Amino acid sequence: MRTIRVETSAATILLTEAPEPKVRDRQTGEIAKDINSGEALMTIGVVYIEEGESSLIKVTVPESGVSEGLALGAPVSLPGLVARPWESVFNGQQRHGIAYRSAAVTPAAFPAAMGATA
């Protein structure tokens, strides 16, 4: 499937769910691994705010890309963020959505308020 780069420079991204291991198989508890590197994958929840609109999304990040110092509600940066459309059939029902993946999640700063003075 095609991946689509997500431009984040004009967005505010806030951490809403702390990193936790991405589970590949809920019955066995198997943790998802990157196909190429074999590295364990993590998921985070963020709110993505741009041009007055917001979306809650889950993002997959390699374990080595999770930075120290992340705090819930704080702004984060998602370098290399991409979106990948997906679809599957589960129990006879077709499902579809968008999966998000980033190379890392790092602490960021709140954008400066427009017209603010010191």
3-state secondary structure of 77: strand
Q: How far is CA 84 from CA 1, 8, 116, in A?
A: 7, 16, 37
* pTM of the complete model: 0.86
User: Rounded distance, CA 2 to CA 85, Å?
Assistant: 7
Q: What is the pLDDT of residue 1?
A: 61
Residue percentage of the chain with pLDDT more than 70 = 93
Short-list 58, 67, 43, 44, CA closest to 98: 58
- Classify domain 2-104 by CATH number: 2.40.50
Residue 65 has pLDDT above 90, yes or no: yes
State pLDDT tens for residues 81-116: 999 999 988 888 999 999 999 999 999 987 755 444
Q: What is the pLDDT of residue 25?
A: 86
Answer for the pair 78, 105: CB distance below 8 angstroms, yes or no. yes
Answer for the pair 63, 41: CB distance below 8 angstroms, yes or no. yes
